[in-house]
Chains A and B, each alone.
Chain A
Amino acid sequence: MALKALDIFKLTPKKNCKDCGFPTCMAFCMKVASGAVEVSKCPHMSDESLAKLSEATAPLMRGIKIGAENSEYELGAETVLFRHEKTLINRNRYAVAFCECMTNEEIDAKLANIKAVNYVRIGEEMKAEMALIEYFENKEGFLNVVNRVKDSNLDLAYILVCEDAAIAKEAVEILKDKKPVVYGATKENYKEMIEVVKADKLALGVKASSLEELYATVELIQAAGYRELILDVTGENIKDTFTNAVQVRRIALKEQDRTFGYPSIVFANKLAQDNANMEVALSSVFTVKYGSIIVIDDIDYAKALPLFALRQNIYTDPQKPMRVEPKIYPINNPDENSPVIVTVDFALTYFIVSGDVERSKVPVWLAIPDAGGYSVLTAWSAGKFGGSSIANFIKESNVGEMTKNRDLIIPGKVAVLKGDIEDCLPGWNVVIGTEESMEIPKFLREYKAKKDEALANA
């Protein structure tokens, strides 16, 4: 990746034959170095050169696949340290921790929580994606948890925490088609652990007591030919863990050292020491800074709502505007008596507002003009969501023919637009809606009740 054009040039046959479509080998190499063209476009490259190049042009951070079927996820494969430099790619995943010591009731309670916290936010399913199951010394207990979690039939990816290769192997056998992560390779046991994961190319979690040791252990494992790795960056305390998480990612991407070019796992549950608020704090820190799997003690909505929302934001691609198509969206089967309600074409706003309108069960025509893909106040400040643009959209969309109702409900945050819109849209009556979308259901139900009453009296 850091390969310069000159380094690549040294590996070409230097024939300047133009078969690659470029006038000279050097011109071709400059394109390859910039990532615009694949080396394989030169048909005369020796196998040896190609091998060298593919090594040097391999991504700095590997993408590691874990889990299977509905619960297959890719981790890592990041190319930048900060999202504005390009984008972050594979969102982190949250794992709920189980341990061998748990009773069946305790296991079932956590499973019920995992099952309960499952919702859609802006088109994305939100849930804890993984279960982590920890072994210490009680093999029966451990295998019981593995079986019980598996038998729940929840869509989960698994992490088996077990440094005893023989026992890990038994657990892997139970979860064979789930492609679990096997965690617990150390500098002592890595050879046996590789034997457990090799056949199915399972991801292997690597742990060590310091960054130096982690580095040396990864080198040993790589030398033994295994590269499906996840690195445990959890340290003695919160400070060390943060340092480790940043260092591992930075050494991979900035220093371009592939020894640390793997996804990470952070045990937020252990660092939080049974303090649920601290667990939210730590999980947020490592969602922003370089955790790939974040282990939490349990899941409930209070934890999930901020964490999943934060993750969704951080992993939004800044290169792609989040917009919905400007048009009239019928919601709850509107008819000729239904009001028109306006919002903007920013995807976030659209999903929040349309969700709340649906919850109200009140039929409406949702009008979305071109507002530049901005939130209500941003669009208004940028001059893209004003009286005349809203009025023009209402006219051009012909929504006036879909309904006889002449009430136009606008977001409370732009109440000031009432006069302007009414001036541009004779015959319409602008109704100021609530500031927050969550109050829409109540607002619309009251609106409808009043309307129905007026109709009945008329």
Chain B
Amino acid sequence: MAFKMSVQKYSGKISEVEIGTGEKAIKIGGENTLPFYNFDGVAGNTQKVGIEISDVYPEGWTDSFKEMYKEVADCPVKWAKYVEANTKADFICLKLVSADPNGLDKTPEECAQVAKEVAQAVSLPLVIAGCGNHEKDGKLFEKVAQTIDGYNSLFLSATEDNYKAVGAAATMAYSHKVSAESSVDINLAKQLNVLLTQLGVKSENVVMNVGSSAVGYGYEYVASTMDRIRLAAFGQNDKTLQMPIITPVSFESWNVKESIASEEDEPAWGCIEKRGIAMEISTAVSSLVGGSNAVILRHPESIETVKELVSALA
């Protein structure tokens, strides 16, 4: 037999979503192949890598970050400018931690003011992440979407509990993008996308966060969920799953023991910073190979490596 490349043509295609404005705006999605399978068809826009910052001093982050950001971490505006100037990130993810009702419980107005100042200070696209309390995030995003109208930001995330408020504010009242977050399950991902579309949100304004975990911590479910979602989007041309995927890797990878156990507690394991970076890189590239169109990371070194890998694979 003669050698022949195996080529798989799909009818389905991922939508293309633009985030941000001006020269630094990014586009994700647009592919009709599995990630980096250029031999099958159109690989779409290259995968993008963002950097996480927070609106409060990152008390819980490992020491290397506190050292790295010691001049800027008490002010989100300075912090955002710093990462724009000093890292290779394609976008900034501002996490509004201070909104947490079990924490500082700042009002949506206060948070929106911070988001606005950050948006004005940088030209990289902004992803706005909430505090994780779905009810509060609903109110929070309504206000922030209004305050930073025109910046074409992405709101992370709309969930089953708050999609009406978040979807309507971010993409209908104001012109932003919304991320639909579901819990590691193809049917849940599909259902939330359908609900958002029924509400009137245009599917080209939606990206998905289909769930994430650090490698070693239930990542097998994440891997298979992504595989199934992508195969359904391409092979079955399932329109309700043809949105790009964003994965907030750093939200998970910096919480696990491998990344945070001190060198005194685990003397054999060696440098804590190196461990955290390696966990973040491994989780990020696994997600990218699985189907993520964008990942959010914390460490500038991870960002550099992941970007280098993406451009080598593109």
- A binding-site residues for B, Cβ under 8 Å: 82-84, 116, 121, 211-212, 215-216, 219, 237-239, 242-243, 246-247, 250-251, 254-255, 257, 259, 275, 277-278, 280-282, 284-285, 287-289, 300-303, 305-310, 312-314, 316, 318, 348, 352, 375, 378, 381, 436-438, 441
- Assess whether A309 is in contact with B223, with CB atoms less than 8 Å apart: no
Q: Is the CB of A83 within 8 A of B286?
A: no
- Listed by A's residue number, 21 A-B pairs whose Cβ atoms lie within 8 Å are A84-B228, A211-B5, A239-B313, A246-B39, A255-B6, A259-B1, A277-B301, A284-B215, A284-B286, A285-B289, A302-B277, A306-B216, A309-B258, A310-B286, A312-B216, A313-B216, A313-B219, A313-B223, A318-B224, A436-B255, A438-B257
Q: Flag if B218 contacts A348 (CB, 8 Å).
A: yes
Q: How far is the CB of A333 from chain B (nearest CB, A)?
A: 23
A278:B305 contact, CB within 8 angstroms: yes
**Pair A82/B227 contact, Cβ less than 8 Å:** yes
Proximity bits, B184-202, A CB within 8 Å = 1, else 0: 0000000000000000000
B310 → chain A closest CB, angstroms: 10
List of 3 A-B pairs having minimum Cβ-Cβ separation, nearest first: A309-B216, A306-B282, A215-B3
Residues of B at the A interface (CB closer than 8 Å) are: 1, 3-6, 8, 36-39, 183, 214-220, 223-224, 227-228, 231, 255-258, 260-261, 265, 268-271, 274-275, 277-279, 281-283, 285-286, 289-290, 301-302, 304-306, 308-309, 312-314
Binding site secondary structure of chain B? helix
Contact present for A436 and B215 (CB under 8 Å)? no
Pair B309/A285 contact, Cβ less than 8 Å: yes
Contact A280 B216 (CB under 8 A): no
Say which residue of A277, A309, A314, A437 sits within 8 Å of B302 (CB atoms): A277
Task: Knowing that A302-B270, A310-B215 touch, tell me 18 more A-B residue pairs with CB under 8 angstroms.
Answer: A84-B228, A211-B3, A243-B38, A246-B39, A251-B6, A257-B1, A275-B305, A280-B282, A285-B285, A302-B271, A305-B258, A305-B278, A306-B281, A306-B283, A309-B216, A316-B220, A438-B265, A441-B265
Mostly, the A contact residues are helix
A181 to chain B, nearest CB (A): 24
Nearest residue, chain A, Cβ from B312: A238
A278 touches which one: B216, B255, B256, B308 (CB < 8 A)? B308
- Looking across the interface, which residue of chain B has its beta carbon closest to that of A441? B265
Q: Which B residue sits closest to A238, measured CB to CB?
A: B312
Note all chain B residues with C-beta closer than 8 A to A275: 305
Contact of A314 among B183, B220, B260, B305 (CB under 8 A): B220
Complex CA distance for A313 and B216, rounded to whole angstroms: 6
Minimum C-beta distance from A123 to chain B (A): 14
